[in-house]
A = this chain, B = another copy of it.
Amino acid sequence: MKLPIPGQPVRGSKTGAPIMALLDLLGRSWAMGIVWHLYSGPSTFRKLQDYCESISPTTLNKRLKELKDSYLIERTVNGYALTEQGKELYELIEPLGSWAKIWAKNFK
């Protein structure tokens, strides 16, 4: 799966509309989960693997590369961490957390 780059054809848009590139990136398995987790602080590869519970190292490594190449995360001395932009993105999706709790009531 190649990196979705705004301005180039991506899943959902031949012209590469930024939102579609972003949704392509985030719509891959574990991508949002990784961002979600990293907001609580930098994490090592192994800890991310533990956190994700069932992600394969292959997939984790791929997602990390993609997120790095998309300027959302970076490697620091403490492990993988959100960039400033990554934090911005997290803050945009953060409201999903409390909304999800309400949404969950449907399933009872």
Contact = CB atoms under 8 A, between A and B. Distances in A.
Contacts of A5: 107
A104 B27 contact: no
B29 A97 contact: no
Interface residues on A, range: 35 or more
A95 B96 contact: no
A100 B33 contact: no
A100 B19 contact: yes
Contact of A6 (B11, B54, B97, B103): B103
Most B C-beta atoms less than 10 A away, residue of A22, A30, A101, A107: A107
A53 B12 contact: yes
Q: Indicate how many identical chains form the complex.
A: 2
B18 A103 contact: yes
Contact of A89 (B23, B92, B99): B99
Contacts of A103: 6, 18, 22, 71, 85, 89
A95 B22 CA distance: 12
A20 interface: yes
Interface string A3-23: 001110001111000111111
